Amino acid sequence: MKAIRPQRFFQVLCGVALVFGLLLAGCDERPQATIEKSIRTAEVKPPVEQPPAELLSTQRAFTEVAAKVAPAVVNIRAERVRAMSRLGPLFDDFFGDLFRAPRVPQSEQSLGSGFIISAEGIILTNAHVVEGAEKIKVRLPDQRVFPGEVLGLDPKTDVAVLKIKSDQSLPVTVLGNSDRIKVGQWALAIGNPFGLDGTLTVGVVSATERANVGIEDYEDFIQTDASINPGNSGGPLLNVYGEVIGMNTAIVAAGQGIGFAIPINLARQVAEQLIAHGAVTRGWLGVTMQPVDPALAESFGLDKVTGALITKVLPDTPAERAGLQRGDVLLSFAGKPVRGVRELQLQVANAPIGKTVPVEIVRNGRRLTLSVAITARDERPESGGEARRSRGKG
């Protein structure tokens, strides 16, 4: 085998490198392809040129509601100062009263929503959003921030009224009539879930007059599947006209698409008393009750499970003066059917003070109608049983 001289080897190597370089240069030559621009022009049509008119009108309704109502929906930040253990809550939970760690004041904040109901700066929100707060800040969608003053709150219905002062005009929501809503109608929620201002979610009214949920003392909720999350509390539930039909207040944590709103008629009734007096006066009957189950309904000769069974009549009360007795089953109050204990509690609480209303009962298999004069309820826990929770509810 002949040996290759170094000079010759260098010449061969350079030649190979040159050929390899030319080959690579040839590989870099790519065709000049043109990608069509996906921009809406006269020449580029959308995939669906004519969506159904109903779909477009629905979409337009949603956008109009958001544009008109969102400016009047506010973000509420409430600050509370609480005494906390220096070693943390886990230390207290583990050792209990055996070892008491030093307590230090610690600030905590909660977020919620609200909506302006008058140009004077009156705002509706949930009581649990602002209850016990030392400092309240209200931020409008235009980023103006105001200190909030609590005019009154009612934990039994979870309604609170705030006031802010502004030198400029404030946008205002329009309150609708929650008595007219029907299951299946559109429901739109606007609020600040997780602090995300001005979030709009859409669903339907899933149910009305929802009680026995165990959230408040007086329950008459609108149920909706419009997404409601922490931070939505106190925000408005709207119809397609942009009218407020409810105030979002709670969700079922274990489920999805189950949210509850206080009907605006109830919230407005409570708010009017809070604005005028700073507190709520409710009607009082003076009985303790329990729900009617299928066995009780059969024993009383009822054709369906309805009403509320009186288990005790308190002395010197409207119920005693009207002649109501233990063992009576209340079927209707003021002309409205009584479906259960919770419904009756709300009906009595909303009855005008001093007004005499008819009450239909079943006693010993006979239907009777009595007249009861409603008086103001003493809000002390010992007075009257109609505001107590149903059995099994705690």
My answer on whether 120 and 198 are in the same domain is: no
Burial class (CB in 10 A: 0-12, 13-18, 19+), 230: middle
pLDDT of residue 256: 83
My answer on whether 260 and 227 are in the same domain is: yes
* CA-angle at 147, arms to 142 and 148, nearest 5°: 100
pLDDT of residue 212: 76
pLDDT of residue 180: 94
Instruction: Please identify, among 229, 256, 277, the residue that sits at the C-terminal boundary of a domain.
Output: 277
* CA 36 to centroid of chain Cα atoms: 47
Q: Is residue 57 part of a domain?
A: no
Q: What integer is the mean pLDDT of 383-394? A: 30
Instruction: Please identify, among 214, 249, 277, the residue that sits at the C-terminal boundary of a domain.
Output: 277
- What value does the CA radius of gyration of the chain take, rounded to a whole number of Å? 33
| Residue 385 CA neighbour count, 13 Å, CB half | 17
Query: pLDDT tens digits for 4-16?
Result: 455 565 555 556 5
My answer on whether 295 and 351 are in the same domain is: yes
pLDDT of residue 242: 96
Instruction: Please tell me the least confidently modeled range out of 41-55, 56-70, 89-103, 200-214.
Output: 89-103
Q: What is the set of active-site residues?
A: 128, 158, 233
Q: Do 161 and 116 touch, CB atoms closer than 8 A?
A: no
My answer on whether 290 and 342 are in the same domain is: yes
Burial class (CB in 10 A: 0-12, 13-18, 19+), 40: exposed
356: pLDDT strictly greater than 60: yes
Q: Is residue 10 part of a domain?
A: no
My answer on whether 292 and 340 are in the same domain is: yes
My answer on whether 303 and 370 are in the same domain is: yes
384: pLDDT strictly greater than 60: no
Q: What integer is the mean pLDDT of 39-55? A: 81
Q: Is residue 7 part of a domain?
A: no
Query: pLDDT tens digits for 119-128?
Result: 999 999 999 9
Tell me the average pLDDT of the chain. 84
pLDDT of residue 394: 22
Q: Is 42 left (phi over 0), alpha (psi -120 to 50) or beta?
A: alpha
Burial class (CB in 10 A: 0-12, 13-18, 19+), 310: buried
Burial class (CB in 10 A: 0-12, 13-18, 19+), 229: middle
Give the CATH number for residue 129: 2.40.10.10
Q: Is residue 27 part of a domain?
A: no
My answer on whether 295 and 265 are in the same domain is: no
Could you give the CA distance from residue 306 to residue 297 in angstroms, rounded to a whole number? 7
| Cβ-Cβ contacts under 8 Å for 24 (sequence gap 6 or more) | none
Could you give the CA distance from residue 319 to residue 311 in angstroms, rounded to a whole number? 12
Q: Is residue 4 part of a domain?
A: no
Could you give the CA distance from residue 167 to residue 119 in angstroms, rounded to a whole number? 11
196: pLDDT strictly greater than 60: yes
My answer on whether 154 and 241 are in the same domain is: no
Instruction: Please identify, among 277, 304, 322, the residue that sits at the C-terminal boundary of a domain.
Output: 277
My answer on whether 270 and 288 are in the same domain is: no
Could you give the CA distance from residue 121 to residue 162 in angstroms, rounded to a whole number? 8
Q: Is residue 31 part of a domain?
A: no
The count of domains in the chain is 3
My answer on whether 183 and 238 are in the same domain is: yes
Q: What are phi and psi of 265, to 5 degrees?
A: -65, -40
pLDDT of residue 377: 81
pLDDT of residue 204: 97
Output the six-digit token pair for 103: 């307590």
Give residue 83's domain range: 69-163
Give the CATH number for residue 358: 2.30.42.10
My answer on whether 311 and 266 are in the same domain is: no
Within 10 angstroms of residue 101's Cβ, the number of other Cβ atoms is 13
Q: Is residue 141 part of a domain?
A: yes
Q: Is residue 51 part of a domain?
A: no
Instruction: Please tell me the least confidently modeled range out of 27-31, 166-170, 257-261, 327-331.
Output: 27-31
Q: Do 299 and 368 touch, CB atoms closer than 8 A?
A: no
My answer on whether 269 and 288 are in the same domain is: no
